[in-house]
C-alpha cells in the first residue's frame, strides 16, 4: 500500500514537473517572438546605416539571448508567485473593517514594492543634486499614499474617471510651478515605479479586493491601481523639486565593451552578472518578507501553494537577473551608441521613424506588459484579447518614441507634449466604458519598464549628447511619453467598442438597460 502511495506521489511530482517545463517552454517561445523584431531592427541599422564592430554585435546578440530566457522565467515566476500573493493580500485587505488599517496596509505595500523596483534604482542614479535614497523614499511614499487611495476607491466604489480628473488636475496645476529642469524627471519617475516587480503584485491586489465584491462593476474596478499608483510619485517628486533644483545631468554614457573573442564576451557578462544577482536579491527580499509575515498571520495558503510560490520566487529571481543583465550589459550601450551616431548623420530626422519603429516592437519585450495583457484577457473573458492589447500598446508606444525623438531633436519642452496628452486622455475617460479607463491608465504604467529605461532612454541620451543639448530638459521625458500615449490608444479602442455596441443595439432594435459596460468581442465580424 505504501509503495502504491509512494508511486502515486512520484507520478504526481513528475507530472507537475512536466507541466512546469511545458509552461516555461511556452513562455520562452513568447519571449523569443517579442525580442526578435527589435534585434532584427538593430542589426539592419548596423548593416545599412551605422556600422558596428563584430564584437559589439556579438555583445548585443548575447544580451538578446539573456533577455529571451530571462523574460520567459520571469513571466512564469510572476504567474506562480507574485500574482497569488497579491490576490491573497487583496482578499485579506477587503476583510478589514477599520479604514485606518486599510490605509496603513495599502501604504506599507506601496512603499515596500516601490523600494524593490529595479527601474527606480536606475533613474535615481541618473538624477544629479538629489541623493539616491532621498529620491527613492520620496517616490515610495508617493506610491504608498496613492495605492491606499486606489484601494479605498475599489472598496467604496468611487468613480475612477472622476478621481483621475481630480488627481491629474492637481498634477497639471502643480507642474506649472515646477522648475523646467525637474519636470521631465518628475514625470519619468511615475513611469519607472510601475515595473516588473510592482505591476504583477499591485494588479493582483486589485483583483483580490474586487473578487470579494458581488456587484456587476467588480471586474471593472479591479483595474486602476497601477494608474493611481503612478500619479503619486510624479506629484511627490514635483514637490521635491521645490527643495532640489538640478541644472545638469550626471549621466555618463556607457560605451560598448571592446571584445575580440568569445571569451571576452563571457568575461564582460560575468563581470556584470554579480551586480544584478545582488540587486535583484535586495529587490526581491522585501516581497518575500511580506509573504512570510502574511502567511504566518493569516495561514492563507496550504502547503502545496507555498511550495509553488517558493518555486515562483526562484523563477522570478533567475528571470530578472538574466533580463536586467542582458538589457544593461548588452542592450543599453548599443542604444546609446546608435543614438549618438544617428544624431551625427546629416539626415538626423531619420531618428523619428526609427524611434517609432523601435517603440512599436520594444513594447512587446516588456515583461510587465505581458502580465497586464493576460490579466485583461482573463478578467474580460477573452473579449479583449492579448492580440488586441498588443496592437494598441505597440501603436501607442511607437507614437511615444517618435514624439520623444522630436522632443530631443528640437528641444521642445516636455510639458507641451505631456499636459495636452493627459487632457485628451481625461476627456476620453468621460466617453468610454469604465473598464477601458482602468485598463488604459494601468497600461500607461506598465509600458515604461526596463526595456524603455535601458534602451530607449540611452538612445535619447545618446542623441542629446551628440547635439550638445541639456540632458535634464531634452533627454529625460521619454519614459513619461511612453507612459502617456497608450492611455489615449486604448481609450480610442474603448470608444470604437462603444460605437460598435450602439450599432448592434440599433440594428437589432433591442432596448438594453445600462449595458454600456457589458463586454462584447471586438474581434467579431
Asked, for residue 20, whether it belongs to a domain, the answer is no
In a domain, 4, yes or no: no
Q: Are 479 and 353 in contact (CB under 8 A)?
A: no
Q: What is the DSSP string of 232-301?
A: HHHHHHHHHTTT----S----PPPPP---SHHHHHHHHHHHHHHHHHHHHHHHHHHHHHHHHHHHHH--S
Residue 343 in grid coordinates: 544624431
**Is position 96 within any domain?**
yes
Cβ proximity of 388 and 375 under 8 Å? no
Q: Does a structural domain hold residue 334?
A: yes
Mean pLDDT, 10 residues at a time, the chain of 525 residues = 52 60 80 82 88 85 89 84 81 79 84 76 66 82 88 81 88 83 78 70 74 61 76 87 60 59 83 87 84 84 88 90 86 84 88 89 72 72 77 86 88 85 88 81 72 76 82 76 83 81 68 49 49
| CA distance linking residue 460 with residue 475, whole number of Å | 5
Burial of 477 (0-12, 13-18, 19+ CB in 10 A): buried
CB 384 within 8 A of CB 500: no
Each residue of 349-390: pLDDT tens digit?
999 999 898 888 877 777 667 667 776 777 667 777 778 888
For residue 78 the three cell numbers come to 510572476
Q: What is the pLDDT of residue 129?
A: 64
- DSSP 8-state code for residue 360: H
Establish if 209 belongs to a structural domain: yes
Residue from 160, 157, 148, 167 nearest 100 by CA: 148
Q: What is the pLDDT of residues 18-66, one digit of tens each?
A: 666 788 888 788 778 778 888 888 899 888 888 888 888 888 899 889 9
Residues in the chain: 525
| Beta-carbon count within 10 A of 149 CB | 21
Q: Domain total for the chain?
A: 1
Q: Is residue 115 part of a domain?
A: yes
Pick from 442, 520, 483: nearest CA to 223:
442
C-alpha to C-alpha distances, 88 to 83, 107, 398, nearest whole angstrom: 9, 17, 36
Cα 494 from chain centroid? 21
In sequence order, the 6+-apart residues with CB closer than 8 A to the CB of 182 are 237, 238, 241, 244, 245, 246, 472
**Cα 508 from Cα 513, distance rounded (Å):** 14
Does a structural domain hold residue 466? Answer: yes
CA distance 233 to 142: 5
- The CA angle 74-202-204, to the nearest 5 degrees, is 75
Residue 3: inside a domain, yes or no? no
Residue closest to 155 by CA, chosen among 107, 203, 210:
210
CB 369 within 8 A of CB 508: no
Could you identify the residue written with the cell 501607442?
Answer: 396
Domain enclosing residue 271, as ranges = 41-508
Amino acid at each position: 500500500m505504501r509503495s502504491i502511495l509512494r508511486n502515486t506521489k512520484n507520478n504526481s511530482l513528475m507530472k507537475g514537473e512536466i507541466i512546469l517545463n511545458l509552461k516555461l517552454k511556452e513562455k520562452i517561445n513568447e519571449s523569443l517572438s517579442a525580442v526578435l523584431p527589435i534585434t532584427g531592427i538593430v542589426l539592419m541599422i548596423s548593416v545599412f546605416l551605422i556600422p558596428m564592430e563584430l564584437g559589439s554585435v556579438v555583445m548585443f546578440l548575447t544580451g538578446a539571448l539573456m533577455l529571451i530566457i530571462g523574460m520567459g522565467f520571469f513571466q512564469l515566476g510572476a504567474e506562480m508567485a507574485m500574482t497569488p500573493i497579491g490576490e491573497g493580500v487583496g482578499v485579506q485587505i477587503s476583510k478589514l473593517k477599520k479604514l485606518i488599517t486599510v490605509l496603513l496596509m495599502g501604504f506599507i505595500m506601496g512603499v515596500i514594492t516601490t523600494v524593490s523596483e529595479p527601474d527606480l534604482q536606475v533613474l535615481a542614479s541618473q538624477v544629479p543634486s538629489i541623493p539616491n535614497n532621498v529620491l527613492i523614499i520620496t517616490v515610495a511614499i508617493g506610491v504608498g499614499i496613492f495605492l491606499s487611495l486606489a484601494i479605498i476607491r475599489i472598496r467604496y466604489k468611487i468613480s475612477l474617471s472622476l478621481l483621475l480628473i481630480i488627481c491629474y488636475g492637481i498634477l497639471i496645476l502643480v507642474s506649472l510651478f515646477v522648475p523646467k529642469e525637474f519636470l521631465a524627471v518628475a514625470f519619468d519617475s511615475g513611469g519607472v515605479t510601475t515595473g516588473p516587480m510592482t505591476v504583477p503584485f499591485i494588479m493582483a491586489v486589485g483583483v483580490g479586493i474586487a473578487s470579494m465584491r458581488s456587484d456587476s462593476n467588480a471586474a471593472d474596478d479591479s483595474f486602476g491601481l497601477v494608474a493611481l499608483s503612478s500619479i503619486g510619485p510624479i506629484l511627490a517628486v514635483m514637490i521635491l523639486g521645490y527643495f532640489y533644483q538640478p541644472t545638469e545631468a550626471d549621466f555618463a554614457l556607457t560605451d560598448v565593451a571592446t571584445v575580440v573573442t568569445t571569451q571576452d564576451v563571457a568575461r564582460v557578462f560575468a563581470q556584470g552578472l554579480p551586480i544584478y544577482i545582488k540587486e535583484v536579491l535586495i529587490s526581491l527580499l522585501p516581497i518575500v518578507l511580506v509573504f512570510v509575515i502574511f502567511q504566518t498571520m493569516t495561514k492563507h495558503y496550504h502547503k502545496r501553494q507555498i511550495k509553488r510560490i517558493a518555486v515562483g520566487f526562484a523563477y522570478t529571481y533567475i528571470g530578472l537577473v538574466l533580463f536586467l543583465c542582458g538589457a544593461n550589459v548588452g542592450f543599453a550601450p548599443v542604444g546609446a551608441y546608435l543614438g549618438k551616431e544617428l544624431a551625427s548623420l546629416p539626415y538626423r530626422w531619420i531618428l523619428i521613424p526609427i524611434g517609432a519603429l523601435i517603440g512599436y516592437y520594444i513594447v512587446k519585450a516588456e515583461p510587465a506588459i505581458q502580465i497586464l495583457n493576460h490579466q485583461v484577457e482573463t478578467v474580460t473573458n477573452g473579449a479583449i484579447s492579448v492580440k488586441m492589447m498588443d496592437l494598441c500598446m505597440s501603436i501607442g508606444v511607437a507614437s511615444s518614441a517618435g514624439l520623444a525623438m522630436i522632443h530631443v531633436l528640437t528641444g521642445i519642452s516636455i510639458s507641451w507634449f505631456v499636459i495636452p496628452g493627459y487632457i485628451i486622455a481625461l476627456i476620453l475617460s468621460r466617453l468610454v466604458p469604465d473598464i477601458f479607463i482602468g485598463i488604459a491608465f494601468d497600461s500607461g504604467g506598465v509600458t515604461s519598464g526596463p526595456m524603455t529605461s535601458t534602451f530607449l532612454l540611452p538612445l535619447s541620451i545618446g542623441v542629446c549628447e551628440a547635439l550638445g543639448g541639456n540632458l535634464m530638459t531634452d533627454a529625460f521625458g521619454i519614459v513619461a511619453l511612453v507612459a502617456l500615449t497608450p492611455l489615449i490608444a486604448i481609450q480610442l479602442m474603448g470608444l470604437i467598442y462603444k460605437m460598435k455596441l450602439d450599432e448592434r443595439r440599433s440594428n437589432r432594435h433591442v432596448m438594453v438597460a445600462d449595458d454600456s459596460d457589458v463586454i462584447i468581442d471586438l474581434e467579431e465580424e
